[in-house]
Amino acid sequence: MLVLGIETSCDETAVALYDSEMGLLAHRLYSQVELHAEYGGVVPELAARDHIRKLVPLINELITSTSLALPDLDGVAYTTGPGLSGALLVGASLGRSLAWGLGIPAIGVHHMEGHLLAPMLEDDKPDYPFLALLVSGGHTLLADVAGVGRYTILGESLDDAVGEAFDKAAKLLGLGYPGGPAIAQAAESGTPDRFTFPRPMTDRPGLDFSYSGLKTFTLTTASKHELDEQTVADIALAFQEAATDSLVIKCRRAIKQTGHYALVVAGGVGANQSLRSKLAALAKKENSKVYFPRPEFCTDNGAMIAQIGCLRLQGGESDPLAVGVRPRWRLSELEQPGV
Ligand code: KG4
Ligand code: ZN
């Protein structure tokens, strides 16, 4: 079964072709980062308008990069949530209409389920059950993944998502958008131990996270100092250390609690090198294994949507003709596919 996947939930227009037998065939992405940079964050209406401009040319580019043509498709998948409603509607309406025009089934995909199973796009993939740490601009959660559609949330952020905290801290430090890569880059020239930030939620039992306190601590520290280049780097490093340590501490607890061997890291913050090396060290110590999707599949992409769409279409699911999106959609509402 050959499926076209479309992702437009936020600020990336992304498409991919996934085949049930051959796996991922091709993928393309257009990032709107430059468009939103001058506003310091994603502007929903501009995001939706830009998806309209870019989506059709990107699908054409994707198809022509292969020897396939639109009539070869067996299904179309698109992100229907969670995300920005206007942006989601662009992908959903185009995807649903294209499927109708071709006389093939269509399926709306949960963006977070896409991230959770993104490691399955790689040759070296984990066996079920595994632990998944999902760290993006909108989510911070630890889940027990027993199989496709079988997710138990073990802990999540009670306030800001960790990626959001990176973005806000970067803005406070005048580092631009998106904040994660900017903080990581500045932190490279930071002086270790000049500042020590608290590790939120680590003195309490459980697997929940909290990042709003860390943001306030960054603000307070920044307001007490002259923000020269070195001080910005030092604060960025202290922030990154605290943010990643609190994730690692919860992962260690979750490994002990579940006894699962594999830990999968998904979502944009999973591209952070400091987090990656700390988790790799943790896995070594705990005799477990950590799986990272390649960086372009950690952040938003079309491949993860095409993959889930294919799994669910094969399981007999499909969407009605009406175009609908679910900007708020909890992972726990998902069910196991039919097969
Ligand atoms: O998964 P993603 O691409 O989009 C969604 O939020 O769904 O994640 C984007 C988030 C942003 O907050 C961005 O600042 C963060 O991931 N991010 C990083 C890094 N690269 C992206 N955070 C820390 N370090 C990075 N290297
Ligand atoms: Zn995402």
Atom of ligand 1 nearest to the CA of 115: 1
Kindly state whether residues 310 and 275 are assigned to the same domain: no
Distance 269 CA to ligand 2 centre (A): 10
Whether residue 24 sits in one domain with residue 91:
yes
Q: Match 């043509």 to its residue by tokens.
A: 69
**At residue 126, what are phi and psi to the nearest 5 degrees?**
-80, 160
Helix (H) or strand (E) holding 86, with range, is helix 85-102
Q: Are 281 and 305 in the same domain?
A: no
DSSP string, 114-142: HHHTGGGGSSS-PPSSEEEEEESSS-EEE
Ligand 1 binding pocket includes 114 (Cβ within 6 Å): no
Question: Are the beta carbons of 107 and 313 closer than 8 angstroms?
Answer: yes
**For 138-161, how does the pLDDT look when each residue is reduced to its tens digit (9 = 90+)?**
889 999 999 999 999 999 999 999
Atom of ligand 1 nearest to the CA of 298: 1
Query: Is there a domain that residue 58 lies in?
Result: yes
Residue nearest to atom 2 of ligand 1 (CA): 268
Q: What is the CATH number of the domain that holds 38?
A: 3.30.420.40
Rounded Cα distance, 73 and 220, in Å: 54
pLDDT, tens digit (0-9, with 9 covering 90-100), for 157-189: 999 999 999 999 999 999 988 899 999 999 999
Ligand 1 pocket member 184 (CB < 6 A):
yes
* Tokens read off for 151: 């997710």
Share of the chain above pLDDT 90, in %: 89
Same domain, 287 and 306: no
Q: Identify whether residues 248 and 144 lie together within a single domain.
A: yes
Question: Are both 142 and 87 inside the same structural domain?
Answer: no
Residues forming beta bridges with residue 264, ordered by sequence position: 132, 291
Residue 339 domain-assigned (yes or no) = no
Cite the beta strand spans of the chain per DSSP E: 2-7, 12-19, 23-31, 75-81, 106-110, 130-135, 140-147, 150-156, 262-266, 289-291
- Determine the pLDDT at residue 339: 52
CA 1 – ligand 1 centroid, Å: 31
Q: What is the pLDDT of residues 270-319, one digit of tens each?
A: 999 999 999 999 999 999 999 998 889 999 999 999 999 999 999 999 99
Residues 157 and 251 in one domain: yes
pLDDT tens string 286-296 = 999 999 988 89
- 28 shares its domain with 138: no
Structural domain includes residue 261: yes
User: What does the pLDDT read at residue 49?
Assistant: 98
Residues 20-42, mean pLDDT to the nearest whole number: 94
Ligand 1 atom having least distance to the Cα of 179:
14
Q: What is the pLDDT of residues 216-269, one digit of tens each?
A: 999 999 999 999 999 999 999 999 999 999 999 999 999 999 999 999 999 899
- Quote the CA–CA distance of 339 and 332 in Å, as a whole number: 19
Query: Given ligand 1 and candidates 299, 305, 329, which is best to mutate, with the most ligand atoms within 8 Å of its CB?
Result: 299
Same domain, 102 and 173: no
For the chain, percent of residues with pLDDT exceeding 70: 100
Would residue 150 count as lying in a domain?
yes
Mean pLDDT, the chain, rounded, equals 95
Classify residue 73: in a domain, yes or no: yes
* Cα dihedral sign, 199-205-210-216: negative
Q: What is the pLDDT of residue 214?
A: 94
Give the structural domain span for 313: 2-116+299-333
Structural domain tally of the chain? 2
- Ligand 1 contacts CB of residue 90 (under 6 A): no
Measured by CA distance, the residue closest to atom 3 of ligand 1 is: 299
In-domain check, residue 137: yes
Ligand 1 neighbour 167 (Cβ under 6 A): yes
**77 and 43 in a common domain:** yes
Contact 132, 143 (CB under 8 A): yes
* Probe residue for ligand 1, chosen from 31, 88, 112, 166 as the CB with the greatest number of ligand atoms within 8 Å: 166
pTM to 2 decimals? 0.92
For residue 106, what pLDDT is reported? 98
Strand pairing category for 140-147 and 130-135 = antiparallel
Residue 338 counted as domain residue: no
Question: Is residue 144 located within the same domain as residue 177?
Answer: yes
Query: Which single residue is written with the structure tokens 């496709």?
Result: 148
83 lines ligand 1 (CB under 6 A): no
Hey, whose CA ends up nearest to atom 16 of ligand 1?
268
Closest to 221 measured CA to CA, from 209, 240, 234, 210 = 234
